[in-house]
Structure 1
Amino acid sequence: MGDRKEPIELPPAPVRHALAVAARAAGVDPEQVTLLGYEAVTWPDAALGAPEPGRLYAQVLTPGYRVHLRVDGRAMTYHTDQGQRVVPAR
């Protein structure tokens, strides 16, 4: 009875996907990526707060996450939607 452990709550799937994308981009194992924090956001358009010059984006409110990570000793931020789209913050 005294050995009960609290269940570990996994971050949402888009946040976990951002960790995998960051690891792949850095060429490291996902275990080497540290999740520093994340917050739910509503992006003002489909650019997820990180528009690429010259691209057009749907002008729709897009729910997602701002994900703060540490990769190879560097702090990084990625933006996601609620699915599989992940982009580095600009």
Structure 2
Amino acid sequence: MSKKQFLIGFGTTFTIFALFVFFFLEPKFGPQLTNVNQDPDTNTETSLTPTPLENDAMNPDYGNLSEDQQKIADKAIGNLLNSISGLNPSMIKVLNIEEKEFNDSSLECPKEGENYAKVVTPGYKITLQADNIIYDYRVASEGDNIILCEE
């Protein structure tokens, strides 16, 4: 067996052993989350409950939208976040979401020089606000048609 073959075999064995230890043996290091605090008088355990942050940087202000409406609004929010640098989700507020049947595939927001199918297209008109600027989005119910309607 050559030195190279030995090192490859040893490295593989060591990696498998390390993964076994990591996944199957109880850790004996780092912070322990059990027995957070024990009351000496009653000998009962108490624990801490995390409190959510009021200004969660990972969530926009959805207002009173249902979970389904939030998923629809997320399409427009994702588009807005990708188009403006420095914007984070907590800076976005959903002002309105309205289900509509648009007259064509432009979602009633045609761009000059473009052709659109003249079919009734179900979708949503979504109004967002970020940094005191109002954004008018149109999102088709089917597919990935997301349009920022700029006038």
TM-score category (smaller protein) = 0.7 to 0.9
TM-score of the aligned structures, taking structure 1 as reference length: 0.81
TM-score of the aligned structures, taking structure 2 as reference length: 0.50
**Identity within the alignment, %:** 23
Distance 1:9 1:46 in 2: 26
Residue number in structure 1 paired with 2:116: 57
Which digits, 9 at most, give the CA deviation of each residue in 1:3-49, with x for residues without a partner? xxxxx832253321111111221221223211111000011000111
Is 1:22–2:80 an aligned residue pair?
yes
Matches within 5 A, 1:1-90: 9-10=66-67, 11=69, 13-27=71-85, 28-82=87-141, 83-89=143-149, 90=151
Moved over 6 A (4+): none
5+ long unaligned stretches in structure 2: 1-64
| Matched residue count | 83
Q: Is the 8 A contact 1:23 1:71 kept in 2?
A: no
CA RMSD of aligned residues (A): 1.6
5+ long unaligned stretches in structure 1: 1-7
Larger radius of gyration, structure 1 or 2?
A: 2
